[in-house]
Amino acid sequence: MQNNEVLKMGAPLIAMGGVWVAQKAFAAVYRASTGNSVPKADDLDVPVTRVMLYASATAVVGAVVTVAVNRTIAKKVQSNDSF
E strand segments, 1-83: none
Look up the domain containing 55 and give its range. Answer: 2-81
| CA–CA dist 19, 14 (Å, integer) | 9
Q: Amino acid letter at 47?
A: P
Per-residue pLDDT, averaged over 16-22, amounts to 94
pLDDT at site 83: 45
Q: Could you tell me which of 68, 80, 77 has the C-alpha nearest to residue 17?
A: 68
Question: Does the pLDDT value for residue 3 go beyond 90?
Answer: no
Among residues 35, 54, 34, which one has the least CA distance to residue 43?
A: 54
Higher pLDDT, 7 or 60: 60
Number of domains in the chain: 1
- C-beta separation of 41 from 54 below 8 A: no
Q: Could you tell me the pTM of the whole model?
A: 0.77
Q: For residues 14 and 73, is the Cβ–Cβ distance under 8 A? A: yes
C-alpha–C-alpha distance, residues 20 and 62, integer Å: 8
pLDDT the model gives residue 60:
96
